[in-house]
Structure 1
Amino acid sequence: MPATDLDLLIDAAHRAAEVATRHIGGPLDIREKPGGQGPVTAADLAVNEVLADTLLSARPAYGWLSEESAHDPTRTLAPSTFIVDPIDGTRSFIDGDDIWAHSLAVCDGNEITAAVVYLPLVDKLYTASKGHGAYLNGAPIAPSARTGLEGAHVLATKPNMAPKFWPNGVPNVRRSHRPSLAYRMCLVAEGRFDAMFTFRETWEWDIAAGALVVQEAGANVTDGKGAALRFNSEAAKADGVWAGVK
């Protein structure tokens, strides 16, 4: 049995990658989730199954929150909870692109204490544990030194640059996009971009792992209004997310 939660998450991420990559080029049985929540594939469900088996068999007392599992209200009573997105970037996976990730985290109370974001097709393994820094493929990472948003290179969708979100005026930034929220956060953590943000409600499984990677790398991370992120809530949602420069 892995000695630490982080070791367990790393092992689980590699097992998830083995399952996901076996589905590439095969039938995906793509379905749309109700309520406009996007597509789900046979790969998402298979990865979810192997993650649940790997993680919960090792830590049976932990709660479980996953995009591809029914919500369990008793998870908030558990000593710790796994928060996972089996495939973050399902549309990218469906399109045959390589930017999708397994996003895995452990939450103690309301705080993330261990996190892994793994992009198997581009060989990027981001890891973090509370108080011990953030790493990419075993090497420590750090954010950019930029202290202001003006002139920054940011990761955000075009709707997030609408004037209604910027009462003091839309900042002059260079905008890019990546399909995985977790990966966007990790790119900020390693200093390749100065900030990422979304002002829409965000599911916890999309940002839990990335939030700790950002925090442990030394960057700022909050919800979309600047408040501290708190995880394993009953609603399992955050009011947006902001990572990087203030």
Structure 2
Amino acid sequence: MRGPEADLDLLTGAAIRAGQIALQYWGKAPRNWEKDAGAGPVTEADLAVNEELQAILTAARPDYGWLSEESEADSSRLDARHCFIIDPIDGTRAFIAEQQGFSHSLAVADGDRIVAAVVHLPVLGLTYAAHADGVATLNGQPISPRDADIADARVLTYRAATEGSAWRGGVQPPFRREFRPSLAWRLCLAAEGRFDAALSLRAAWEWDIAAGSLIAERAGAVVTDRLGHRMRFNNPKAMVDGLIVAGRNLHAQIRAALAE
């Protein structure tokens, strides 16, 4: 039997297996190198996790498309109704530095919408999950966001997003900037209310945000691109135009404060 709930069960098992493989390399100086065109680092662990995930998931759902940061582009995914959207290790720099905040980000798209999602942090023992017909959970317990005013908000974003040119009047609102290495985890932290928002004003790869976007949405956050539009996935370029994830009031305040 298939559907979002069954797909979530499949993703959860695969994410746990991904964590087991990653921990065989973490803290042991895995081989790593820079990708072409300044696309960032990759390690032998990224590739090992990707290989295992692709084997598990495509064997279970051979008719689903495949989009992964560590796989060659395959345009046939655009013809499939469903598509896996995978980041084998989100936060590779943190992984190389032996930091704990890397994650495995796994999602299923049905058309252009995410319907099942898992973000798993194996070192920290955290598993965030959601499907389109249920609530978002952390280790099996429901989660929900907070809804602060922008002046009091703790916002997960990168440093450049606080530059004045990004904001109306050339001045960033007085929120407190925070950072975590995994973008997928940032969305989940906003979803569970540990932080008030996750924000990116630059284009984001789908594999970084697909899973976290559904988890945040099912938790009760407002989830849009930087212009306030609904995110659409399994695009030909596999990118989304930034993101704003926050409670309804804070999301509206961030949108109103941004320069277009």
- TM-score for both structures, normalised by structure 1: 0.97
Structure 1: where are the runs of 5+ without partners? none
1:145-164 to structure 2, matched below 5 A, reads 145-146=147-148, 148-164=149-165
The separation in 2 between residues aligned to 1:234 and 1:115, in whole angstroms, is: 21
**Structure 1 residue corresponding to 2:56, chosen from 41, 44, 54:** 54
Aligned to 1:233: 235
Aligned to 1:14: 16
Kindly state the Cα deviation for residue 143 of structure 1 after the two structures are TM-superposed.
0.3
Secondary structure of 1:196 counterpart = strand
Aligned to 1:29: 31
Aligned to 1:97: 99
Report the more deviating stretch, 183-192 or 24-33.
24-33
Secondary structure of 2:95 counterpart = helix
The separation in 2 between residues aligned to 1:192 and 1:210, in whole angstroms, is: 14
Equivalent position amino acid for 1:230 in 2: R
Aligned to 1:174: 176
**Structure 1 residue corresponding to 2:208, chosen from 206, 209, 214:** 206
The separation in 2 between residues aligned to 1:24 and 1:108, in whole angstroms, is: 33
Kindly state the Cα deviation for residue 145 of structure 1 after the two structures are TM-superposed.
2.9
Equivalent position amino acid for 2:206 in 1: E
The separation in 2 between residues aligned to 1:211 and 1:114, in whole angstroms, is: 10
Q: Which runs of 4+ in 1 moved over 6 A?
A: none
What does the per-residue CA deviation read over 1:38-75, in whole Å, with 9 as the maximum and x for residues that have no partner?
Answer: 00000000000000000000000000000000111110
Structure 2: where are the runs of 5+ without partners? 252-260
What does the per-residue CA deviation read over 1:167-217, in whole Å, with 9 as the maximum and x for residues that have no partner?
Answer: 143111111100000000000000011111011111000000000000000
Secondary structure of 2:211 counterpart = helix
Aligned to 2:196: 194
Report the more deviating stretch, 28-37 or 213-222.
28-37
- Identity value in percent: 49
1:70-149 to structure 2, matched below 5 A, reads 70-146=72-148, 148-149=149-150
- TM-score for both structures, normalised by structure 2: 0.92
When the two chains are superposed, the root-mean-square deviation of aligned CA atoms in Å is 1.3
The separation in 1 between residues aligned to 2:242 and 2:54, in whole angstroms, is: 27
The separation in 2 between residues aligned to 1:234 and 1:140, in whole angstroms, is: 34
Q: Matched residue pairs, number?
A: 245
The separation in 2 between residues aligned to 1:31 and 1:153, in whole angstroms, is: 34
Equivalent position amino acid for 2:164 in 1: P
The separation in 2 between residues aligned to 1:24 and 1:205, in whole angstroms, is: 21
- CA contact 2:103–2:119 (8 Å) conserved in 1: yes
